[in-house]
Amino acid sequence: MATVARAIALAGAFHHCSHITIRSPRRLYHSCRAIYNPKVQIKEEGQPQTLDYRVFLVDHSGKKVSPWHDIPLHLGDGVFNFVVEIPKDTSAKMEVATDELYTPIKQDTKKGKLRYYPYNINWNYGLLPQTWEDPSFSNPEVEGALGDNDPVDVVEIGERQRRIGQILKVKPLAALAMIDEGEIDWKIVAISLDDPTASLVNDVDDVEKHFPGTLVAIRDWFIDYKIPDGKPANWFALGNKVANKDYALKIINETNESWAKLMKRSIPAGDLSLL
């Protein structure tokens, strides 16, 4: 694991942005028992900013469904579903409860207290359904780091603030390989198709052109946010570079395959809820 000093030094290097580029092969995405036309509604239980607060998704009949397992990942033509956990310009650390039935979204806790980021996150943040970062897989491309046992994270850079539990159609643009306490925690940079600038951005270079400084800001934010809590700074693998769209699609495909193995019980689930 990098030291705080090393990670902070890396943050400075990010101001000169460099990219990793790969070409994308044809891919097959896995989906189990997914709602292929997800007409779901958001159902809140409890009061926000309390330990009991949960955000569920329910189908047309009122049945609870999992935002992690039941919402399809791939919609075709490079478009994916994205579930919002943390709306833009908020600080409550919301996340899918991967160990609870139907995996609702809740506010994270530490020692029985609700967790907040030290400052607002500047983008909509959430997960790609039907993905999983396998904690038993040592990835040689990111210095052998193991997966963090969670779905893949998305940073959606559009201009609008979204709602907890909202499902957006997004297109991936780039990937960042964040190392958090020795584990790989992929960040897929994406934009919602209904954003006014969506047609202008299709890959990492377009992000630099139409959202100048955004990739640097994302990396700096994720490097620094744990420091006020006395934890080491995070850092980034892949030679501190931002990977392009095709690399992001590769990561999505690989973590979707890991999720499929998890759902088939080919990999032990541990405390994870598969319902």
pLDDT for the residue numbered 198: 98
More confident call, 184 vs 18: 184
Please state, rounded to an integer, the average pLDDT across all residues of the chain: 90
Rounded distance, CA 138 to CA 124, Å?
Answer: 29
pLDDT for the residue numbered 35: 59
Q: Please determine, for residue 18, whether its predicted confidence score (pLDDT) is greater than 80.
A: no
pLDDT for the residue numbered 31: 72
pLDDT for the residue numbered 37: 55
The lowest-confidence range among 38-42, 56-60, 111-115 is: 38-42
Q: Please determine, for residue 2, whether its predicted confidence score (pLDDT) is greater than 90.
A: no
| Helices (H), ranges, the chain | 4-13, 204-210, 214-224, 245-263
Q: 115-130: b or e for each residue (b if 16 or more CB lie within 10 Å)? A: eebeeebebbbbbbbb
pLDDT in tens, 170-197: 999 999 999 999 999 999 999 999 999 9
Percent of the chain surpassing pLDDT 70 = 87
Rounded distance, CA 231 to CA 90, Å?
Answer: 21
pLDDT for the residue numbered 155: 99
pLDDT for the residue numbered 5: 32
Task: Please compute the mean of the pLDDT values over residues 81-87 and round it to a whole number.
Answer: 99
Rounded distance, CA 107 to CA 181, Å?
Answer: 21
pTM of the full predicted structure?
0.88
Which residue type is seen at 72?
P
Q: What is the dihedral of CA 162, 222, 185, 249, to 10 degrees?
A: 60
Q: Please determine, for residue 204, whether its predicted confidence score (pLDDT) is greater than 50.
A: yes
Strand partners, 235: 179
Q: Please determine, for residue 131, whether its predicted confidence score (pLDDT) is greater than 80.
A: yes
pLDDT for the residue numbered 34: 59
- State the pLDDT confidence band at 23, using cuts at 50, 70 and 90: low
What are the residue numbers of the active site?
Answer: 117
Q: Please determine, for residue 147, whether its predicted confidence score (pLDDT) is greater than 90.
A: yes
Which residue type is seen at 205?
D
Q: Please determine, for residue 27, whether its predicted confidence score (pLDDT) is greater than 90.
A: no
- State the pLDDT confidence band at 39, using cuts at 50, 70 and 90: confident
Strands 167-180 and 235-236: antiparallel
**Domains present along the chain, CATH in parentheses:** 4-263 (3.90.80.10)
Percent of the chain surpassing pLDDT 90 = 82
Task: Please compute the mean of the pLDDT values over residues 69-98 and round it to a whole number.
Answer: 98
- State the pLDDT confidence band at 4, using cuts at 50, 70 and 90: very low
Q: Please determine, for residue 133, whether its predicted confidence score (pLDDT) is greater than 70.
A: yes
Alpha-carbon 119 to chain mean position: 19
Q: What is the dihedral of CA 55, 253, 150, 35, to 10 degrees?
A: 30
**Mean pLDDT comparison of 8-17, 21-30, 243-252, highest-scoring range:** 243-252
Task: Please compute the mean of the pLDDT values over residues 213-235 and round it to a whole number.
Answer: 94
pLDDT for the residue numbered 93: 98
Q: Helices 214-224 & 4-13, crossing angle to 10 degrees?
A: 170
